[in-house]
Structure 1
Amino acid sequence: MRLITKDFLTYGGFALQGKVAALFLLLSGPVWADEVTVLALGDSLTQGYGLVEEDGFVPQMQAWLDGQGVDVRLINGGVSGDTTAGGAARAAWSMTPDVDAMIVALGGNDVLRGIDPAVSRENLSQILQVASDKNVEVLLIGLRAPGNYGPDYKADFDTIYPELAAQYGVAHVESFFAGIEKLDPAEWPAFFQADRIHPNAKGVARIVEQLGPDVLELVHPG
């Protein structure tokens, strides 16, 4: 369901109409009606590469949210191998009228291909602009580039997410893998598949445990 934007609103026994009601809703933050639909726009990490369906990111996050007692429906918008360009190309039609909020987790394949961070930034900006135009709330999940391409590339890429989050006024998490990165690096292999890129079911569980509160705040602010 969409945000409630009625021209007439009753609050605390007082009738608020027209612009006054709109101002109240703006200042009080998002007000969700009924079930909240969230699109998870991403790549193989979102899609659940190498895992049985129920062990993927979206099903595990759905189960976590269900356990919190919130009425949320997650849509798996992950496409294995997708870059930020692919996400930008499908953003508009992916955000159907029933989508209230969106998790954006893209950029890993850009890094693997050594794509210019300026290009990745522009693609992510396009996605966030579409979301803004459609009044869709966003949680932007960042990614830290390795040092393979040098310090300048890493610095340029790593700043994309916090800067765009500030520019568009959206929620931001520094890293998709924050739940694993908190552990001793010697423990990390136990949470990944053989390719050392994609998390296994145990790894996804840690990721969901870390990101869950941020997603909950997205769908149930305050």
Structure 2
Amino acid sequence: MNVIQVNELNVYYGERQALQNINLSIPEKSITALIGLSGCGKSTLLRTINRINDQVQDMRTEGDVLIKGVSIFGKEVRTEMLRKRVGMVFQLPNPFPMTIYDNIAYGPRLHGITKKAEINEIVEKSLRAAALWEEVKDNLKQQAFSLSGGQQQRLCIARALAVNPDILLMDESTAALDPLSTQKIEDLVKELKEEYTIVMVTHNLAQAARISDQTAFLLSGEVIEFAPTFDLFSNPLDSRTGNYIMGRFG
């Protein structure tokens, strides 16, 4: 089942067109990697899926994005509820200036959960899902900024999972981390796809090859090729894809 369907999507920043006629069908409970040169539209596409780009001045879209058959641009769609279903983790860890516990509890409280026992359960479940519980369970009242960079990023993943999304978007979420922390995040992402649909932007081609099920190669705002990852890396159908993978440009 395809959980995300992108149809003839065009995105403009003022007069500049950032995405051109994007068509993608992203299957449920899988990892989709978006690769390509800097400025090719990867992050724009990712941010359009949960409408974070709505906050950008002079940004406009044409076409459609459907999640489980429902347009995200429909008048009845509230952005706060969309972002509950479609969580996002950014390149740099961005924990809130509060305790580890309160970082995770923030979203559930925002969505009306007030019972402490229920919040406690969500905090533990989310931290376990992000492979962080054993490291922080005795220090939940500690400030989030006291954690290492890799731990902060896993905290941000736990925070996104706390509101029970269907989809997790990851925008170069390991780019600022050391190799060991990167490996932990990659291992975590492979586990999370059992429950979530994951779309990730990465400049690390080896990472895309290691953990994604399908990969889209973007160039100048267009999807040049979208295929199962093994096929795209081993036998690309477009010479531009092959040139990028082989490091002949970029």
TM-score (norm 2): 0.31
Structure with greater proportional strand content: 2
Structure with greater proportional helix content: 1
Q: Which has the higher contact order (CA 8 A, sep 6+)?
A: 2
TM-score (norm 1): 0.34
